[in-house]
Amino acid sequence: MQIHYLSEGNSVLNHFLGQIRNVTVHNDSMRFRRNIERIGEIMAYELSKELHYAPIEIQTPLGIKNTTEIKDQLVLCSILRAGLPLHLGFLNYFDNAENGFVSAFRHHPNNDDYFDILVQYQAITDINGKNLLLVDPMLATGQSIVAVYNKLMENGTPKEIHIAVVIAAPEGIAYLEEHLPEHCHLWVASLDEKLNEHRYIVPGLGDAGDLAYGNKL
């Protein structure tokens, strides 16, 4: 797996990452969503450097300009519900992308720390021969992304696979490396220290879905 770490140098990306982690601004859900969206835009720009381009001629009011445009067919897919603001950030840049949505959540059958991943809903277009961009804010254990990936592969075989996450734990990255194809690209805005005993990311930011849309039942 090719892993791209995006926050190693100073940039406005780190500014937004700091704000989404800060407990003093967590009561402002609109600000949280907007910052996740901005992070998605920055990640989309960086990811765009790995796409394929074709030369084109543009007619301007004063002449002809030779330039390039993306020739890949993109399918942008997010994991509900936390992935929606990140999805919007990517869609702001890849506005011609087709879109998909999948639900995945931790199911605790015994009401303890053990969980499995339930994937219950999906709405996605044909992915055969296209570039699949799977986005989710948090990469903790990696089980959700692998479960969603396996579900999506029932719809076809993409040409390229890009997975984009805002915050990742080393354990989750290792799980993806073990269970996903070697040719996948993983884009990480920020790498954190570890998972805690409940398998949440430390220092992390809390529950991205709750911060964006309110507490769930």
Write out the DSSP string of 2-58. Answer: EEEE--SS-SHHHHHHHHHH-GGGTT-HHHHHHHHHHHHHHHHHHHHTTS-EEEEEE
Place of tokens 């995945």: 104
Helix (H) or strand (E) holding 145: helix 143-152
Q: Got the DSSP string for 76-142? A: EEEEETTTHHHHHHHHHH-TT-EEEEEEEEEE-TTSSS--EEEEEEEE----TTSEEEEEEEEESSS
The answer to whether 37 touches 73, Cβ cutoff 8 Å, is no
Six-digit token pair at 23? Answer: 């407990």
Task: Classify domain 2-213 at the CATH class level.
Answer: alpha beta
Q: In whole angstroms, what is the distance from residue 30 CA to residue 175 CA?
A: 32
Q: How confident is the model at residue 108 (pLDDT cuts 50, 70, 90)?
A: low
Q: What is the pLDDT of residues 166-201, one digit of tens each?
A: 999 999 999 999 999 999 999 999 999 999 988 899
Q: How far apart are CA 74 and CA 52, in angstroms?
A: 11
Q: In the block, which residue shows the tokens 């937004």?
A: 16
Torsions phi, psi for 7 (to 5 deg): -110, 20
DSSP string, 167-194: EE-HHHHHHHHHHS-TT-EEEEEEE-SE
Provide the residue ranges of all domains of the chain, joining segments of one domain with +: 2-213
Angle between helices 84-93 and 29-48 (to 10 degrees): 40
pLDDT in tens, 51-87: 999 999 999 999 999 999 999 999 999 998 889 999 9
Q: Residue 19: its pLDDT value, please?
A: 96
The residue length of the chain stands at: 217
The CB density around residue 84, as the number of other CB atoms within 10 Å, is 20
pLDDT given for residue 215 in this prediction:
85
Q: Position of tokens 């407990």?
A: 23
Reading the block at residue 62, the tokens are 């004063």
pLDDT bin (cut points 50, 70, 90) of residue 111 is low
| 143-172 mean pLDDT | 94
